[in-house]
Amino acid sequence: MTRSSVLGYPRIGADREWKKALEAFWAGKLEESEFHQQLQEIRLNHLRKQQEKGIDLIAVNDFSYYDHVLDTATMFGIIPKRFPYEGGEVPLSVYYGIARGTKDATASEMTKWFNTNYHYIVPELDGATPVLTENRPLAAYKEAKEKLGIEGKPVIVGPLTFLKLSKGYQPSETDAWLKKLLPLYVQILQELAQEGVQWVQIDEPILVTKLSDGDLQRLRTIYETFAASAPGLNIMLQTYFEAVENYQDIIQLPVSGIGLDFVHGQTGNVQAIKESGFPSNKVLGAGVIDGRGIWKASLREKLTQLEELTKYVAAERLIVQSSCSLLHVPVTVNNETKLLPELKGALAFADEKLNELVLLTKAVSTGAARIAEELEQSELAIQALKQSGERNRHDVQQAVAAVSAQEPARSLPFAERHVVQQNKWQLPIFPTTTIGSFPQSAEVRKARQQWRKGEWNNEQYEGFIQEQIDIWIKLQEEIGLDVLVHGEFERTDMVEFFGEKLEGFAFTQYGWVQSYGSRCVKPPVIFGDVAFEKAMTVEETKYAQSKTNRPVKGMLTGPITIMNWSFVREDITREQIAYQLAYALRQEVEALEQAGIGMIQVDEPAVREGLPLKEEDQAEYLAWAVKAFRMTTCTVQPTTQIHTHMCYCEFHDMIDSIESMDADVISIETSRSHGELIHSFEVNTYKLGIGLGVYDIHSPRVPRVEEMTSMIDRALRVLDPKLFWINPDCGLKTRGKEETVESLRNMVQATEIARSAYSLNV
């Protein structure tokens, strides 16, 4: 009989209970024993919900105290040398130290989980001697069975994926590291088998990327070793986010099941099965329900898809499952009370996806007639949104089509713009600035809440925001920054703020998802045609500029980041959505310039995460992503300086596209991986203005002047000093006032040292 399965469930809870517990513990408001108890209650509640919904194979060990990749590293005792650790189970002080940093040690690097907006902590293998500190999957299995009677499916990050996502070793050491790790994985699997576990899900999303012949041989070694060591254990080799590469090699591996993504990898995976079949001795995990999107599935289309698969795989060897973990979507639509009926009716969050999986499983097992009513309801809901006025703005569609038909470009090339901008601004060598936001204290959050609740009128709230701007303009001047910002105190989130002011967006009340650690975001929903309504940032920026003689940057979020950090509609292409956003934001850029703002920052931290995993699809994406940015910024005067900000990416493989964005100044988040990025500039040239983040804003520690001086010195070995800016890694919204001021003072002091050294060498 066909079964249902979920690859993982959101950790955070419907009301972010998980986040609140973590932050209470970090603040010392929760004892460790009580902290463990609270997280266990959250974890069991999530399992119980899936059990009650009727999911057959429920994932366990998908829950985490911070991040599942960090869990894997600490389970193997892989602890960076700068943290005090003497063996055994890793204490929470070390676990959270690796993730967040401590007073004495920097945090480990954090980067995107494939092409999602979830961030994982990068394992550092250098100098580590792996040992099994605890069998986390076994503990999770036993807990679910003892507490709830659930025969769980333990989830483990696979060895090849773990190694590929780690740092601190040379490619030539890969096999040596695999030899160290394999016995630990074998011990985990053997202990699971001894406990009576039936299915284990081993996540190998790396299999959807291009693998070398050496990697394919390692893959065979890994799974042949597992099959020989735990022959009675059913292993589900799980892939997601795209179609697998090397399908014929993968289906020959000695595993009991293979999980494929039939949402984001639909075309490639279906084609592979049609061409090569599917082994009759294996189970197919058919990921037909989108684990990353929020839209209600067309049950009729999904059922047709599953019926097509049963031509190649017997129904009893089919598991109907999510395309990936539901970690990437909010918990439930039930609590949303303020959405348009046609929009709410078309949404499916994690709990609603559980229902869809159960319904489809029933239909495959017993026939479509058993869910005839639900099939009809899903179609009606989808059609209601499709026919809504918000999705049929012909004025917007025609204007965007006309603008996007042109090739956007500034009126002068960068070399000429740089000269006129230098004449206008008269900035010193190595100008200093920040990325945009300043600390949002409890007072700021309370004021916004009072305004939103109607307890404060607009005048009160605007007056409060102006007071905050006054404080921080004065502080920036005292610190000695060259280019100032207004601080973004009126903004909750860099995407939500703009979405609330543009047409075509909707906002949930409880649609939170985990971004990194306890950082949860509530992505906007782009459900209709996007349109500019009125100026969004001019008032605060213009006010800030009136308080100082130094330049104040206007601050916008770019079209690609707004798109990539939103849940987007599926009835038009992402390229079309990007151009609608670009056209709307262009009108805001023009409004800022007309108001006298001569520096405008259009942030694009999320360009990289939208990059397709398949190399053959990347050039097309980058071409229209660059075009969308240029559409946003191309109409300003040559003297108007366009800035952008990007999070760390493997710069060498995107440098041409980033340069093509033609921003006058780009700042890049680099401090956790500064050396790797500097190496990119040793083999590539970059001819525009650039600022490499000189300290990590995700950590509460205040960086020393010497640390930042060292970073500046190394950058200046490969970058043109005349084009080099100095700034923090990212926005400072989540930091405290005192540490922010102290860190920026140190940054300015490091800049002065660099200026003095440079003046002596010219």
Q: Which residues face 257 on adjacent strands? A: 236, 283
Question: Radius of gyration over alpha carbons of the chain, in Å?
Answer: 26
> What is the C-alpha to C-alpha distance for residues 673 and 648, in angstroms, rounded to an integer?
8
Are 435 and 730 in contact by the 8 Å Cβ rule? The answer is: yes
- Which residue reads 């999320």 in tokens? 606
> What is the C-alpha to C-alpha distance for residues 642 and 664, in angstroms, rounded to an integer?
5
pLDDT over threshold 60, residue 330: yes
pLDDT in tens, 582-600: 999 999 999 999 999 999 9
Write the CB contacts of 636 (distance below 8 Å, at least 6 apart in sequence).
Answer: 410, 589, 590, 593, 600, 642
Residue 606 has a pLDDT of: 86
Mean pLDDT (the chain, rounded): 94
- β-pairing, 599-603 with 525-531? unpaired
> What is the C-alpha to C-alpha distance for residues 463 and 453, in angstroms, rounded to an integer?
17
What whole-number percentage of the chain has pLDDT above 90? Answer: 86
**Residue 163 carries which side chain, given as an amino acid letter?**
L
CA–CA distances in Å: residue 571 to residues 35, 78, 358, 511 = 44, 45, 25, 21
Residue 10 burial (10 A CB sphere; 0-12, 13-18, 19+) = buried
Residue 694 burial (10 A CB sphere; 0-12, 13-18, 19+) = buried
pLDDT in tens, 205-220: 999 999 999 999 999 9
- Helices 574-594, 615-633: inter-axial angle, 10-degree rounding: 30
Weakest-pLDDT range from 18-32, 137-151, 395-409, 603-617? 603-617
Weakest-pLDDT range from 437-451, 494-508, 676-690? 676-690
pLDDT over threshold 70, residue 673: no
Q: Supply 515's token pair.
A: 């971004």
pLDDT over threshold 80, residue 680: no
Q: Which one, of 492, 511, 628, 624, lies nearest residue 566 by Cα?
A: 511
Residue 703 has a pLDDT of: 87
Are 346 and 42 in contact by the 8 Å Cβ rule? The answer is: no
422 band by pLDDT with thresholds 50, 70 and 90: very high
Write the CB contacts of 162 (distance below 8 Å, at least 6 apart in sequence).
Answer: 69, 72, 73, 123, 181
Q: HSE (CB half, 13 Å, CA atoms) of 345?
A: 15
DSSP states along 540-577: HHHHHHHT-SS-BEEEEE-HHHHHHTSEE-SSS-HHHH
> What is the C-alpha to C-alpha distance for residues 59 and 74, in angstroms, rounded to an integer?
20
pLDDT over threshold 60, residue 232: yes
- Mean pLDDT for 83-91 is 94
Task: Give the SS3 label for residue 496.
Answer: helix
- Mean pLDDT for 466-485 is 96
Q: How many beta carbons lie within 10 A of that of residue 186, not counting itself?
A: 17
Q: Which one, of 331, 405, 744, lies nearest residue 576 by Cα?
A: 405
DSSP 702: P
Task: Give the SS3 label for residue 699.
Answer: coil
User: Per DSSP, which regions of 595-751 are E strands?
Assistant: 599-603, 641-646, 665-668, 689-693, 724-727
Helices (H), 634-686: 655-660, 674-683
Are 137 and 71 in contact by the 8 Å Cβ rule? The answer is: no
Are 525 and 343 in contact by the 8 Å Cβ rule? The answer is: yes
Weakest-pLDDT range from 71-85, 278-292, 647-661? 647-661
Binding residues for Zn(2+): 645, 647, 669, 730
Residue 588 has a pLDDT of: 98
* Cα-based angle 598, 476, 480 (whole degrees, multiple of 5): 95
What architecture is the 3-386 domain classified under in CATH? Alpha-Beta Barrel (3.20)
Based on the residue annotation, tell me whether 698 is a catalytic residue of this protein: yes
Query: 256: alpha, beta or left, given left = phi > 0 and alpha = psi -120 to 50?
Result: alpha
Q: How many beta carbons lie within 10 A of that of residue 117, not counting itself?
A: 20
- Mean pLDDT for 144-166 is 98
Binding residues: 16-19, 112, 117, 435-437, 488, 519-520, 565, 603, 609, 645, 647, 669, 730
pLDDT over threshold 70, residue 201: yes
pLDDT over threshold 60, residue 239: yes
> What is the C-alpha to C-alpha distance for residues 260 and 271, in angstroms, rounded to an integer?
12
Task: Give the SS3 label for residue 690.
Answer: strand
> What is the C-alpha to C-alpha distance for residues 488 and 501, in angstroms, rounded to an integer?
15
Task: Give the SS3 label for residue 352.
Answer: helix
Q: Supply 529's token pair.
A: 């045609």
Element (H, E) at 5: strand 3-5
Between residues 81 and 655, the one the model is more confident about: 81
Binding residues for 5-methyltetrahydropteroyltri-L-glutamate: 16-19, 112, 117, 519-520, 565, 609
> What is the C-alpha to C-alpha distance for residues 103 and 85, in angstroms, rounded to an integer?
16
Q: Supply 42's token pair.
A: 């959250």
Residue 111 has a pLDDT of: 87
Write the CB contacts of 193 (distance below 8 Å, at least 6 apart in sequence).
Answer: 230, 232, 233
DSSP states along 259-317: EEESSTTHHHHHHHHHHH---TTSEEEEEEE-SS--BPP-HHHHHHHHHHHTTTS-GGG
Residue 185 has a pLDDT of: 98
Task: Give the SS3 label for residue 748.
Answer: helix
Task: Give the SS3 label for residue 512.
Answer: coil
Are 669 and 647 in contact by the 8 Å Cβ rule? The answer is: yes
Residue 683 has a pLDDT of: 67
Are 528 and 581 in contact by the 8 Å Cβ rule? The answer is: no
**Residue 556 carries which side chain, given as an amino acid letter?**
L
Q: How many beta carbons lie within 10 A of that of residue 734, not counting itself?
A: 14
> What is the C-alpha to C-alpha distance for residues 130 and 99, in angstroms, rounded to an integer?
19
Are 468 and 490 in contact by the 8 Å Cβ rule? The answer is: no
Q: Supply 371's token pair.
A: 């869910």
- Mean pLDDT for 337-348 is 96
What whole-number percentage of the chain has pLDDT above 70? Answer: 97
669 band by pLDDT with thresholds 50, 70 and 90: confident
Residue 717 has a pLDDT of: 85
Give domain limits for the chain: 3-386, 399-404+411-760
What architecture is the 399-404+411-760 domain classified under in CATH? Alpha-Beta Barrel (3.20)
Longest dimension (CA), the chain: 83
DSSP 59: E
761 band by pLDDT with thresholds 50, 70 and 90: low
**Residue 489 carries which side chain, given as an amino acid letter?**
F
pLDDT in tens, 682-740: 666 788 998 888 877 777 788 899 989 988 988 888 889 999 999 998 888 888 899 99
